[in-house]
Structure 1
Amino acid sequence: MSNIETRPPELRCGTPSDAAPEPGERRVEVLSARDVPLGGPRAMTVRRTLPQRGRTLIGAWCFADHYGPDDVAVSGGMVVPPHPHTGLQTVSWLFSGEIEHRDSLGTHALVRPGELNLMTGGHGISHSEVSTARTSVLHGVQLWVALPAEHRHAPRDFQHHVPRPVALDGAEARVFLGTLAGDTSPVPTFSPLLGAEITLDAHADVTLEIDPRFEHGLLVDQGEVRMEETPLRRAELGYLAPGPDTLRLVNTGDTPARTVLLGGTPFGEQIVMWWNFIGRSHDEIVQAREDWMKGSRFGEVQGYDGAPLPAPELPNAPLKPRGNGR
């Protein structure tokens, strides 16, 4: 998905500035979402939990949009013209609906519920996303992964994977990246990552084994969930710092709850993120925008009927360095 805000903020994102928790401490930080309309009079509105001023990265996860369930007859669905990406991977994960993906690799694929579509932008790629005519309700998440400096110019790529459901006592997991609950996704990543949909039965109390090197974020799609002892409401994201080797999730409601668990080792690098580009300096972002506007570097998306998205104007002043919590 494109970030099609007309005035996207330019951010330098880095490691948290707050003090690390004491050994064994399980302090959960609650991140609330902000509503972002994605352009036009019938704008599709998403709930964005990453990035935000207090925390910009969870592992290499640097962007999280949560949307729906939206009645496409009312919202108009998703219509995102060809747009560019650099220095990142996009992760599309749906709960309902269907999206047609086209990119400058020549990929023409459908995004469907329970199926991972992962696109590597690297040095530069362009793609379009349009909900299909079969879609009546659109509901899902769109996530970005920042590429480490040594891989930020990686070749364009596209991966598709259908994770198997893993039955747990009181829950079901679908692991689309990394390892959880004895299941490992075959999709390679450029840094240690975890991505999984976890559905909790009514009143379920589940303890998962997790990698203590990872920091974790739990996004609640539906229901009311306790992460450790901290309650999370719909569209909130709970953050847990590295250290614990287990994670307790409790569904406090009478109906199933659905969540998305993200994790990874602390990224350890600062990145500059503006519009659909991730780089390491203001100048890199300026060059990427210039290349997109003059039609070089990103390739062409075949089969989309319409013009590509123009890039917004850059801010007048270069960014000021800041990390999480500053």
Structure 2
Amino acid sequence: MTQVLTPRDVPLGGLRAMRVRRTLPQRERTLVGAWCFADHYGPDEVDETGGMVVPPHPHTGLQTVSWLFAGEIEHRDSAGNHALVRPGELNLMTGGRGVSHSEVSTPGTTTLHGVQLWVALPGAARDARADFEHYAPPVLRGRGWRAAVFLGSLLGDTSPVRTATPLLGAELVLDPGTALDLDVDATFEHGLLLDAGSVVVAGEQVKPAEMAYVEPGRSLLRLEALEASRVVVLGGPPFGEQIVMWWNFVGRTHDEVVAAREEWQAQITRDGEVVGDGQEVADGRFGIVVGDHLPPVPAPPLPTARLKPRA
């Protein structure tokens, strides 16, 4: 079965909010393997949108995967990592039990374009310490296509980046008229997010910003580019665990998420008010983002109903 998932537009904070297109999670599908979140943005002219300005905010139970097509983003986190996200280079941050980080497009960035992805951590790894990895994969080339494999294995290349569950992550750029057969793991389900162009995936035509979901059981995926196209390929075996995902937290129960929210709020507030500078934040479970002077982001109110696990 091939299912086409359509995105919804979401503002990414602030008065001049940068708009993103979100294909995961949604009512029809929460996960593709362990991939639990997919935002797709740009190409945006920074002079018009204000670029990306995401102040310090928390994460638990997940990994963030940053992948750019254009522009540059400065990453800082409470584990002491300070790095730049550049096109064709993977930045993977492990939140584990708790981490906070900020993401701000650099002054020299004129156009911002890329994807922000999350990976749910399995029970055995979700209390791990915060961590960070950077990897610049080689560019693979064939007749009518080029590719970069940033996680897992595809097209004869394997990423050295460690993951808690088997994963696939790759960027494919296809020339018009190219038909590319991908040998894939038949135990994986796959999500193919189309950035630009027009592609037929396993017989289904996909439009820009849509994601084609392909269930397990296929050892070959055929992509046919009707015009010049760029695709992000995601995959992994069905996750096998239910998750509770709310705001920036991935947990297993409603109470676990409530506790994480309360800890973050207690860490960033003084006398009931959010501190005015990131350096004034108390060093609690989520830590301090050293070198970032933006005020931290307060957690939104919880919904009135209990959060339900999603398969």
Which TM-score band applies after superposition, normalised by the shorter structure? over 0.9
Question: How do 1:169-318 and structure 2 match up within 5 A?
Answer: 169-253=143-227, 256-295=228-267, 296-318=284-306
CA distance in 2 between counterparts of 1:316 and 1:246 reads 45
Aligned-partner SS, 1:52: coil
CA distance in 2 between counterparts of 1:321 and 1:236 reads 25
Q: Is the alpha carbon distance of 1:320 and 1:155 closer, same or farther for their aligned partners in structure 2, counting shifts above 3 Å?
A: closer
CA distance in 1 between counterparts of 2:309 and 2:86 reads 39
Identify the match of residue 78 of structure 1 among 52, 67, 78.
52
Give 2:94's aligned amino acid: T
CA displacement at 1:321 relative to structure 2: 4.4
Give 2:32's aligned amino acid: I
Give 1:103's aligned amino acid: D
Identify the match of residue 91 of structure 1 among 65, 80, 99.
65
Aligned-partner SS, 2:74: strand
TM-score by length of 1: 0.89
CA distance in 2 between counterparts of 1:272 and 1:189 reads 20
> Taking every aligned residue pair, what percent have the same amino acid on both sides?
64
Show CA shifts across 1:214-253 (max 9, x none).
0000000010000021100000000000001001001012
Task: Name 2:128's counterpart in structure 1.
Answer: 154
CA displacement at 1:171 relative to structure 2: 1.1
Show CA shifts across 1:135-165 (max 9, x none).
0000000000000011110111000000001
Show CA shifts across 1:232-290 (max 9, x none).
0000000000001001001012xx21010000000011000000000000010011011
Asked if 2 retains the 8 angstrom alpha-carbon contact of 1:47 and 1:235, the reply is yes
CA distance in 1 between counterparts of 2:230 and 2:288 reads 37
Report which structure shows greater RCO (CA 8 Å, sep ≥6). Answer: 1
Aligned-partner SS, 1:151: coil
Q: Which ranges in structure 2 are unaligned for 5 or more consecutive residues?
A: 268-283
CA distance in 2 between counterparts of 1:31 and 1:126 reads 30
Aligned-partner SS, 2:43: strand
Asked if 1 retains the 8 angstrom alpha-carbon contact of 2:13 and 2:54, the reply is no
Q: Which ranges in structure 1 are unaligned for 5 or more consecutive residues?
A: 1-26
Show CA shifts across 1:17-75 (max 9, x none).
xxxxxxxxxx2100000000112331100000000000000000000000000000000
Q: Is the alpha carbon distance of 1:322 and 1:94 closer, same or farther for their aligned partners in structure 2, counting shifts above 3 Å?
A: closer
Asked if 2 retains the 8 angstrom alpha-carbon contact of 1:169 and 1:206, the reply is no
Q: Is the alpha carbon distance of 1:316 and 1:87 closer, same or farther for their aligned partners in structure 2, counting shifts above 3 Å?
A: same
In angstroms, what is the RMSD of aligned CA positions?
A: 0.9
Asked if 1 retains the 8 angstrom alpha-carbon contact of 2:244 and 2:308, the reply is no
Give 1:257's aligned amino acid: S
- The count of corresponding residues between Structure 1 and Structure 2 is 295
Q: Is the alpha carbon distance of 1:156 and 1:321 closer, same or farther for their aligned partners in structure 2, counting shifts above 3 Å?
A: closer
After superposing on structure 2, the runs of 4+ consecutive aligned residues of structure 1 that deviate more than 3 Å are 320-323
